[in-house]
Structure 1
Amino acid sequence: MGLEDDPELLVKGWLFREVCGSWIKQRCYWFVLSLDSLDYYSSSERGARRLGTLVLTNLCSVIWPDKQTFKETGYWSITVYGRKHCYRLYTKHFNEAVHWACAVQKVIDTKAPVETPTQLLIRDIEENKFNPEVVDNMYQHNPILKHTQSPLYAPLLPFPYGNHSGKGYATVREEAVKLFNCLQQLECARDPVPLIQGVLQTCLDLRPLRDEVYCQLVKQTSCTPQPHTAAHLRYWQLLTCMSCTFLPGPAVLKYLRFHLKSQFPESEMDNYASFIGEALEKTRCRECVPSWEEIQVLMGRQEMLCTVHYPGPGSCQLHISSHTTANEVVRRMLEKLGLKESRNTFSLFEQNAHWERAVGGSTIIADILTSLSAKEPDSDSQWRLCFKLYCLLDADAISVDSIEYLFLFEQCHEMVVRGQLPACEEDLQTLAALRLQSARLLMPPCAPPRFPGGLLGGTLWNHTATAAHKQKVEQDLRLRSRLKEEAAAIMSTIVECWKGLAGYSRRDSMTAYLTIARQWSGFGCTLYESSTGTFSQKLWLGVAATCVSLYRQGEAEALESFPYGQICSYGVSDSNTFKITAGDRDLLFETTKVGEQKLIAGEYTACLSLCHQNQPPRVLLPVIKY
């Protein structure tokens, strides 16, 4: 009886095998799969010489057939990774390749989980944590738990063999060993920040390595020959950064907490341990690796200084930790600016001169600061964090003497600059004059009148600029000359209007400005550019305190309005479409800010619901994911 007749073999057959990393078509072997291994022989006859064995455990992995290999070689391939060997196997038949891959994977799935010595010791420490003598004995007789100057040749935790994660990394097992080498380099590095940042980035990209790095750091901070040296404290500093960025799994977290409680009282290590213990209570997984500045601050167990701007020239500086959320900053800004009693709601925004986006209430501020610092600055603007009105629920209740009134004025002017306030040319010129008077009162008395940047924005120039863009090249100079003349005429008109405002205080200017703006029925709403199948041109979708309205861009009257009481549901139907169901109608709007539309509408309805229950509106902030 030959090998092909053995009933204990699950799958058997002829397959080509890649030898020494090169595709050699002639190397064909008889492969057999049993419950414990994948073997190959020189032939299918009984007594044939076995040429190799790959023992299968639950850490083995299988790479399934892919079209790219078939295009390159004309064969379908599967790859089986083991602890010592890797078999790359080929066949001409796709179904046969899939059959082998499924069979090998089924055998792997039947295997019991492999536990490393470190895992077993962690479990023993947890079981004996109230018996110091037993734990001390474990550390004494198990060098794997203690600090070492020697390299690590295998991970402390089990990882699948050959598990390539992409992103330019090697296998997870190889990366784990590399990370331990990086940790050891901390002891002699002149500047540890790049190494720390690199370790954190790898852990962000390769989630399974987070527990591994925690175990490596516990190892390197246990039974250290010289625990009080600056070199040794580098491990504690990295452990501090890890604790503010990632949470370990439950088993490793218990092991870490036990380790933190085992430090010498009132020592520098104990101070780090206390800081780390508190951080672990607050940490959620971060979206960004801590910045250079944040790492420096964490190494000293300090807080960062964050600048929050608000409409107008003002700003506040707040101390924040790696766990401070946007909601917390908003509450602190409300206290600082005396806005806690406001009936309107506020939010933080990422902002530059041309673009802004609301920050979700649960977003970690340190992540926002890191992302802003990583963005390329424009030539004429800088990214910043701004505190602004978010939902205007009761504009009439805002006192003209309050800072909230300044917020309303500045944000209304932003809409004018963006061309989002439908008004006649005469009103726009008056608004420009009032803005000039308001800005003039902030200048030194002897300064000549200047037009602040963005004073007129696109609103007054839109029609002329569009026409100029469409003219032929040979008419360009003439058009430029005409535009210059028209600009001079408009400026002259604004200056004459401004001269008539002599005696206006800044408050008078702001009040007159907002009086004109309030003439538009959509005053106070948030506008989003969108389009819908019903109308061919670009539209504005206005989300306000009482309704959602649809406007043609530049027109004051709403095409349609939908009070919240008539809206059955609203939400996101896909990445670019906002859907409103009102009665028996489904309205779809294509826009680039779907998430913001949904969430600001939700906040308005939530605030209105609270008002109907005679409760004061709360500071409700969106949770926006991009």
Structure 2
Amino acid sequence: TCQLFINAAVDSPAIDYHVSLAQSALQICLTHPELQNEICCQLIKQTRRRHPQNQAGPIQGLQLLALCVGLFLPQHPFLWLLKLHLKKNADSRTEFGKYAIYCQRCVERTQQNGDREARPSRMEILSTLLRNPYHHSLPFSIPVHFMNGIYQVVGFDASTTVEEFLNTLNQDTGMRKPAQSGFALFSDDPSGKDIEHCLQGNIKICDIISKWEQASKEQHPGKCEGTRTVRLTYKNRLYFSIQVHGETDREKLLLVYQTNDQIVNGLFPVNKELAMELTALLAQVEIGDFERPFSTPAGQVTSQSKSNQTLKQVLERFYPKRYRQGCSEEQLRQLCQRLSTRWMALRGHSAADCVRIYLTVARKWSFFGAKLFAAKPLATSSVEKSFIWFAVHEDGISILDYSSMRLTVTYTYKSLMTFGGYQDDFMLVVNNAQTKDKSTEKHLFAMTKPKILEITLLIASYINNFHQLKGAAHHLSAPALLTPQSGQKLKEMGSQPLLSNNRPTKCPTLL
């Protein structure tokens, strides 16, 4: 396979031939680590002598070596031999020498961050073959999407972890570290279902892309081959009231859009009047002053039509779905009229002003920042409702009435004995100090498996944070967060063991 990769000329239209060869050879070396010294020695041998009549072969050999050392390194003394070989050939004046310098960088980064878990993705191989990565300190890049509809392209290399990736992103966008902002990086699901996966800080970005790509191929064989890639989103996951005073402007803006997403989808209680006020505020943030139609007879019809179109688009994006559904044309016209009145009242207000007003209003709800999950209590539960909302927040887990979203009961994290997936359901075991006859209560709720995993990990993150703060308050070192187990298959997600609250919680990885 190495011989084919090196000797067949790279042809851009048929690039997937080389992608397949590289993935095949390197997957075998990941599966059988005893071959890792061997492939490095073979590639050193293949790139030792450069023949002027065939420059392409040795360069392709170095390209494969670059992909190789981005995954793993040989053991001593072969690592010493590899470094010596690269040092001898490093030369910024030639294409071959530039690839040798890039290989040196890859070796340093793999030594720093450790081996990878997955073979290179198609994106990683294309970036290495089609442009010399020597010219880029961060040879790969991917867009990260935000809740306000924009995205930021972030660079990374073969060894970049999620934590390092977020450090770059935060510097570029003016945000604090995730521990302060509560923001986290999420990936979509390769199945195409509406499921998100929170990415742990120690996982490597290239591994995430590769595993997502492999899972997508398995679930969609032959469909859109090579064109689908992971979608990364950066949004708030943990909300701490103590961190509000340090919020940056970007964090405030993104919190507004995330809150609005909850409002639109019925996960935040607002009446029609308040919903309209908040919609107008977001229209002012996004578009600026509302422009009245021109009064000139010739342009009035066109301008009026354009204004109505803008108002309808704003309502569609920012106004709750449940208040829009089933509206007649006349009712929709009245909604547009009400929106235009409120929007025009905000004329001259800056985006920062509107963001401040929006957050001031939204934070009046005591569960602002909480993440809501719909669940159905089962017969063994003491809560006799068809559906309820779980609100997971910094102080504990609250159960809210499904229609009114009023508080039913709150369980503090101290009172949680056990929680997590139990068979096909979600279970809470809480310490009941009020009753003498029964010290603990067990509650079962029907939820989908992905949501069981999501709520379990979210509770675990809040509990681990609670332990850290508790340790800091007593001038003790915070208990170490247990590192996630790696390599869990996507299809196994949701069938996790119960998590206990008597120690920092061990979270399974998602990808």
Task: Point out the more displaced range, 592-601 or 367-376.
Answer: 367-376
Deviations 1:500-529 (A, max 9, x none): 444443333333333332333321101123
Of 155, 172, 176 in structure 2, the residue corresponding to residue 319 of structure 1 is 155
The structure where strand makes up a greater share of residues is: 1
For 1:123-272, list aligned pairs within 5 A: 179=1, 183-191=3-11, 193-203=15-25, 206=28, 207-208=30-31, 211-212=34-35, 215-216=38-39, 218-219=41-42, 221-222=44-45, 226-227=49-50, 229-245=55-71, 247=72, 253-254=75-76, 256-263=78-85, 265-267=87-89, 268=97, 271=101
What is the count of residue pairs matched by the alignment? 420
* RMSD, aligned α-carbons: 4.0
Aligned residue for 2:236, secondary structure, equals: strand
1:294 Cα deviation after fit: 4.4
- Tell me by how many angstroms 1:420 deviates: 0.5
Q: Higher RCO, 1 or 2 (CA under 8 Å, sep at least 6)?
A: 2
Alpha-carbon offset, residue 416 of structure 1: 0.9
| 1:339-383 CA distance string (max 9 Å, x none) | 249843221122599664322222222244456778689xxx996
Distance change (3 Å), C-alpha of 1:373 and 1:312: farther
Letter in 2 for 1:357: H
Is contact 1:577–1:588 with CA below 8 Å preserved after alignment? yes
SS across alignment from 1:531: strand
Deviation at 1:325, TM superposition (A): 1.4
Instruction: Work out which of the two has the higher radius of gyration on C-alpha atoms and give 1 or 2.
Output: 1
- Identity, % of aligned pairs? 18
| Aligned positions of 1:442-481 closer than 5 A | 448=307, 449-450=310-311, 451-452=313-314, 453-461=316-324, 464=326
SS at match of 1:459: helix
Specify the code of the residue in structure 2 equivalent to 1:586. Answer: K
Give secondary structure in 1 for the equivalent of 2:409: strand
Equivalent residue for 1:296?
A: 127
1:78 is matched with none
TM-score by length of 1: 0.58
Give the CA deviation at 1:199. 3.2
- Whether 1:307 aligns to 2:143 is yes
State whether residues 343 and 394 of structure 1, in contact with CA within 8 Å, keep that contact through their aligned partners in structure 2. no
Residue identity in the other structure for 1:543? V
Deviation (angstroms), 1:399:
5.9
Partner of residue 577, structure 1? 425
Distance in structure 2 (CA, Å) of the matches to 1:558 and 1:418:
19
Aligned counterpart, 2:108 = 278
Distance 1:322 1:437, change over 3 A: same
Q: Name whichever structure is richer in helix by fraction.
A: 2
User: Offset at 1:543?
Assistant: 0.9
Larger displacement relative to structure 2 (401-410 or 543-552): 401-410
Using the alignment, how far apart are the partners of 1:541 and 1:341 within structure 2?
A: 24
Tell whether the 8 Å contact from 2:176 to 2:248 is kept in structure 1 after alignment. Answer: no
> 1:518 & 1:300 partners in 2: Cα distance?
47
2:357 is aligned with 1:509: no
Aligned residue in 1 for 2:501: none
Asked if 1 retains the 8 angstrom alpha-carbon contact of 2:275 and 2:320, the reply is: no
| Separation (CA, whole Å) in 2 of partners of 1:519 and 1:554 | 19
Task: Please point out which of 503, 513, 519 is paired with 2:364.
Answer: 519
* C-alpha contact (below 8 Å) 2:121/2:213 kept by paired residues: no
Contact 2:284 2:354 (8 Å CA) reproduced: yes
**Alpha-carbon deviations, 1:537-585, whole Å to 9, x = none?**
33322210101112243422123211112112323335x5333221112
Give 1:324 deviation, angstroms. Answer: 0.9
Give CA-to-partner distance per residue, 1:121-159, whole Å, 9 cap, x none. xxxxxxxxxxxxxxxxxxxxxxxxxxxxxxxxxxxxxxx
Q: Which runs of 5+ in 1 are unaligned?
A: 1-178, 465-481
- Paired position in structure 2 for 1:605: 463
Structure 2: which 5+ runs fail to align? 90-96, 217-222, 294-305, 432-439, 484-506
SS in 2 for 1:513: helix
